[in-house]
Amino acid sequence: MANTSLLKLEEDSRIDSHIAAVSKRLGMPRRAFLQFCATLATSLGLPPGADAAVAEAVASKKRPSVIWLHFQECTGCTESMLRAEHPTLEKLILDVISLDYHETLFAAAGHQAEQARKSAMMQNRGSYLLVIEGAIPTRDGGIYCKVGGQTAIELTRECAADAAAIIAIGSCASWGGMPSTDPNPTGSSGVATVLGKPVVSIPGCPPNPYNFLSTVVHFLAFGSLPPVDELGRPKFAYSRLIHESCERRAHFDAGRFAMEFGDEGHRKGYCLYKLGCKGPETYANCPTVLFGDAGAGTWPIGCGCPCIGCTEQGVGFSKPLHMLAKVKNVDPPQQYPRIVEEKGMGATLGSAALLAAVAGAAAGGAAMVARNLGLSHQAEEAERARAAGQGTEV
């Protein structure tokens, strides 16, 4: 069956004059570029016809200036972005945006780099995108992370003041991520906490680069960031639990679980719930978008590794890897045994007294039952004797 949406897009006169140039620039065939725009519009949940606006924006609109800051992080978010394929993401990202400051990708260094940042902010005041990668330390005035003589707090507030939009990329920037785990000696926090206002968050460790690209393209095409949930996450990517679309979900429903890594169930692709998979309490589009671009099934659960809940605050980097997830939409039957049984804390004085009272009541009730049974038995025997004397049967 022909893709009618794609055919209409190919015939759209608004974008026809730009397609040849952008296809050459990106090294992508015309149809591949249009297919990408149509897919992007669909993944964003946009109405029919929006794919043309996406294609026109990518092909012809002025690239927004982007200031990309790095703080407490491992640079995994950037590394993930640069290593994506189908199509090559770095070409798309660098073609869609004007990356005017990025410490990892910059050729410049020192005062030269800081001057480039300030110039880009001045020339694009009120229209540039601020992207922040990494948590921001807040303890002791934020002295645990400095760039160009400024603390991460000072730099974030300075760059955020005239930004058109702010994106926190990765779990560290979204809520503090791994640096914020107990005991959190540097007071690591997310961007929204430091700025005291909502920002668009794209959590993940690392986040899926296509979620970032889709967010930026939405801004480019419509002048606004996509709708977000109460945590600032784009709804198109973080509105459904991993568990809902997981390829192993049928095994969960049927009660088929891998109990150990490498066991028969694990090799057969059974559900990883009992190995500590956090998919039932983690919101992300990993099962549908996948991750790694190395072929079908290349995402953690597909490869046999339980989800660690890296996109979910309070789950990723907080819950032990093999702790069972809290199933948010359906509880497994109680007859499925748990991996580790809970241990009691010992009886308190109050609970012991309550238990004694309950036991006393139970003992009293048992005595009454025994007494009544005894009386009933005696009455029955007397009736039998009376009937026998009269020569009748009972």
Instruction: Give the H/E segment covering residue 137.
Output: strand 136-137
pLDDT of residue 1: 34
User: In one letter, which amino acid is 328?
Assistant: K
Q: Six-digit token pair at 386? A: 């009376």
pLDDT of residue 382: 67
Tokens 């012991």 found at: 352
Q: What is the pLDDT of residue 275?
A: 95
> What value, to the nearest 5°, has the Cα angle with vertex 285 and ends 263 and 292?
65
Report the C-alpha gap between 140 and 111 in whole angstroms.
26
Q: How far apart are CA 292 and CA 27, in angstroms?
A: 21
Q: What is the DSSP string of 302-350?
A: TTT-----TTSTTTTTTS-TTSPP--SS-PPPTTSPPSSPPPP----HH
Structure token digits, residue 211: 């979620």
Question: Strands 65-70 and 146-147, how do they pair?
Answer: unpaired
How, if at all, do strands 188-189 and 136-137 pair? antiparallel
Distance in angstroms (rounded) separating the CA atoms of residues 79 and 101: 16
Q: Are strands 150-151 and 188-189 parallel, antiparallel or unpaired?
A: unpaired
Give all domains of the chain, ordered by start, each with its CATH number.
7-61 (no CATH), 64-236 (3.40.50.700), 240-340 (4.10.480.10)
Structure tokens at 58: 């990518």
Distance of CA 325 to the CA centre of its chain: 14
What amino acid is encoded at 139 in this protein? R
Give the span between the Cα atoms of 30 and 24, in whole angstroms.
9
**pLDDT tens digits in sequence order for the chain, 394 residues long:** 334 554 455 555 555 556 666 666 666 677 777 777 777 776 666 666 666 777 766 666 677 888 999 999 999 888 887 765 555 556 666 677 778 888 888 777 788 888 889 999 999 999 999 999 999 999 999 999 999 889 999 999 999 999 999 999 999 999 999 999 999 999 999 999 999 988 999 999 999 888 888 888 888 878 888 999 999 999 999 999 999 999 999 999 999 999 999 999 999 999 999 999 999 999 999 998 887 666 667 788 988 999 999 999 999 999 998 899 998 876 555 555 555 555 555 545 555 555 455 555 555 544 554 455 455 556 566 666 676 666 555 4
Q: Is the pTM of this model over 0.75?
A: no
- List of residues 6+ apart from 271 with CB closer than 8 A: 248, 249, 251, 252, 256, 257, 258, 277
Q: Which residue stretches of 45-140 are H helix? A: 50-60, 76-82, 89-96, 111-123
Distance between CA 353 and CA 347 in Å, rounded?
10
- Residue in 169, 217, 225, 293 with CA at minimum distance from that of residue 22: 217
The DSSP letter of residue 70 is: E
Handedness of CA 160, 163, 164, 170 (dihedral sign): negative
